[in-house]
Amino acid sequence: MNPIILSILTSTISAWQAIFEIYNQRRPLDFYRSYYIKVISDMGGTADTYCDTFFSNYLTCDVRKPKKSNQGGYTINNLECIANNCHFIINTENVNFHIEVNCMKAFDMESPVDAMDTKKEECRSERNFKLFEGGRVEYEDML
């Protein structure tokens, strides 16, 4: 029975945290939204990436370029965002982990009445999870 317990304990790669931020800026003639992801591993190392949407009410963007962690143990890539949700991939030791994050805030999408006015809003959320060798992700919370 001890070998089974040991096997389960060693199959966890590490615990992680994803910090997800959305920034909105709306003026009467334009709109801007930025999505930002920062991934932190409890084994050390962080990586971050972002994408922006300009002049678009579709609220979608993506970035495919891999971003390597500052300690080199993993990359985050394939960030795809729509509305208040994003998903991306953490790649570590040739295992891909598909991660999803979201923001539950309802944004005010109406343009300001005054032509010189700018509306700014932001939302920040954090998601904790564990990654396992087979590519399984176990979230501490539910979306």
Query: For residue range 86-104, what is the model confidence (pLDDT) as tens digits?
Result: 999 999 888 899 999 999 8
pLDDT value at residue 134: 83
Contact 41, 14 (CB under 8 A): yes
Per the structure, the count of domains in the chain is 1
pLDDT value at residue 115: 65
Stretches in the chain below the pLDDT threshold 50 = 1-10
Residue 60 structure tokens: 């979608």
pLDDT value at residue 63: 94
SS (H, E, C) 89-142: EEEECCEEEEEEEECCCCCCCCCCCCCCCCEEEEEEEEEEEEEECCCCEEECCC
Whether 141 maps to a domain, the answer reads no
pTM: 0.82
Whether 62 maps to a domain, the answer reads yes
Whether 26 maps to a domain, the answer reads yes
- State which residues form the domain around 44: 15-105
Residue type at position 88: F
Whether 117 maps to a domain, the answer reads no
pLDDT value at residue 10: 43
Distance, CA of 97 to CA of 99 (rounded, Å)? 6
